[in-house]
Amino acid sequence: MRLRSVDAEETRLHHRVVHGYRRAYRIAGEGPAILLIHGIGDSSATWADIIPGLARSHTVIAPDLLGHGASDKPRADYSVAAYANGMRDLLGVLGIERATLIGHSLGGGVAMQFAYQFPERTDRLILVSAGGVGREVNPVLRAVSLPGADLLLSTLRLPGMRLQAGLFARLMRLLDTDLGQDAPELFTLVDALPDATSRSAFIRTLRAVVDWRGQVVTMLDRCYLTEGMPTMLMWGSRDSVVPVRHAYGAHAAMPGSRLEIFEGAGHFPFHADPVRFLSLVEDFMATTRPADWSRERWRELLREGLPVAKGPAESGVSADVERDLREASERSAT
């Protein structure tokens, strides 16, 4: 296969209006489609080091989710289901029928939701430090879900507070804490919320998936439906936002999935080691075939239901995974 070069002009932002809202996205390359879905408070710019490599042999689409980046920020539905619908409609506007989905953090939950809602349009799943597995999440995100969050976020943008936050981030890094791995990038997300409209969209998105007790949505109850769909999980061993324990739980709950741990990396493994990340994605794409969705098989899986319903001895899942699957019933299904 001949690889093509990709210049900076190809990865610039484009805009299309879908359902009356302006959507920003990057598109580059030619070949089978890959959809990159960023996390909460982030934008398509987070994939800057990844897009050129993938675009040498694929059509790469990296949108700014509604409420994020350069996309419109209306008072709207920011649930994972709504985002999945938005991804379907953007692909439709661009004339793309199927894609491999790569989702980071909240984007991982959106990718999983897309695969659940539109399995016939999903070739593969690559979930990176994905939300929607266990309840645990960084306490800061739980705090921001509480009333008064807008005031908290606006305070962090004050010059004096920003300096103190920077000093705190450096201290956490010097002490070699997990939070220290992610603090610089997390504070960059705060910088991406320059006005009340941006902060409101961020808070509405966060409250759709997190409350004071932790994550309120789950994909565990439907992971068994990924049987037959090539799936890879990538996680940083020192993720301070979504703990690496969730990676092992999702891997156990997703039949045939691959798991890759980035030792020493935090919540952004594709920033910590973009070369390895790109290599893993390329190998996964080259060694798997797109999912061959069957309506009949889908119906059979739905009728069989969750493996844990058969009991741990028959299902083969660990006690930890069984506990997480049962806890999932206490949270909203994605």
Residue 108: is its pLDDT beyond 50?
yes
Beta strand residue intervals within 97-206, DSSP E:
99-104, 122-128
Residue 162: is its pLDDT beyond 60?
no
Residue among 71, 79, 105, 200 flagged as catalytic: 105
Residue 145: is its pLDDT beyond 60?
yes
Please give the pLDDT value at position 224: 86
**What is the Cα–Cα distance from 231 to 256, expressed in whole angstroms?**
7
How far, rounded to the nearest angstrom, does the alpha carbon of residue 116 sit from its chain's CA centroid?
A: 15
Number of H helices, E strands in the chain: 14, 12
Residue 309: is its pLDDT beyond 80?
no
Query: Given the DSSP bridges, would you call strands 210-211 and 258-262 parallel, antiparallel or unpaired?
Result: unpaired
Residue 33: is its pLDDT beyond 90?
yes
* Catalytic (active site) residue 38: no
Residue among 68, 104, 267, 271 flagged as catalytic: 267
- Of the two residues 231 and 172, the one the predictor is more confident about is 231
Residue 232: is its pLDDT beyond 90?
yes
pLDDT tens-digit series, residues 253-295: 888 999 999 999 999 999 999 999 999 999 999 999 999 888 8
* Catalytic (active site) residue 105: yes
Tell me the C-alpha to C-alpha distance, in Å, between residue 163 and each of 144, 155, 187: 20, 12, 11
Residue among 42, 123, 221, 239 flagged as catalytic: 239
- Rounded to the nearest 10 degrees, what angle do helices 245-253 and 319-328 cross at? 90
* Catalytic (active site) residue 239: yes
Residue 313: is its pLDDT beyond 50?
no
**What is the Cα–Cα distance from 217 to 250, expressed in whole angstroms?**
14
* Mean pLDDT over each residue of the chain, to the nearest integer: 83
Residue 2: phi and psi, rounded to 5, are: -85, 130
How many Cα atoms occupy the beta-carbon half-sphere of 154 within 13 Å? Answer: 10
How many Cα atoms occupy the beta-carbon half-sphere of 188 within 13 Å? Answer: 11
Q: What is the pTM of this model?
A: 0.85
